[in-house]
Amino acid sequence: MTDCVFCKIFRREIKADVIYENDSFFSIPDANPIDPGHSLVISKKHFENILDLPNSTGPELLDCIKKTSEILIKKYNCEGFNVINNNFESAGQLVKHIHFHIIPRKKGDGLKFFA
């Protein structure tokens, strides 16, 4: 996908600070964070949503989520984190390229996702 913003970031056509990467995924800070440390885990290959993502990428996806989260916990001295994945526009997916939000959390931070 030549016009995909995440593909452009992966091809280094758009500058972004890479937090962590492996063979199939990379993580970067979110351009519009909802809280300090809000970051994205993104597939290097273009897949529109989780239904398109091959099952074989599961271990590398989990690796990137875990390593990125560990880095964010240390950097932001947080007590926990949320991992969120939106699929399709009706569920809040804005960029049609699979990605996962990691949101560092602290007790009493006021963020509410699911109550």
Domain positions in the chain: 5-105
Q: Give the active site residue among 38, 46, 97, 99.
A: 99
pLDDT attached to residue 40: 98
Q: What percentage of the chain has pLDDT greater than the value 90?
A: 91
Burial class (CB in 10 A: 0-12, 13-18, 19+), 13: exposed
Non-local CB neighbours of 81 within 8 Å, separated by 6+ positions: 69, 72, 73, 102, 103, 104, 105
Considering the segment(s) 5-105 as one domain, its CATH architecture is 2-Layer Sandwich (3.30)
DSSP bridge partners of 99 = 42
More confident residue, 38 or 113: 38
pLDDT band at 114 (very low <50, low <70, confident <90, very high): low
2-29 per-position pLDDT tens digit: 799 999 999 999 999 999 999 999 999 9
Q: Tell me if residue 29 falls in helix, strand or coil.
A: strand
Is 101 catalytic? The answer is no
70-92 per-position pLDDT tens digit: 999 999 999 999 999 999 999 99
The pTM of this model reads: 0.94
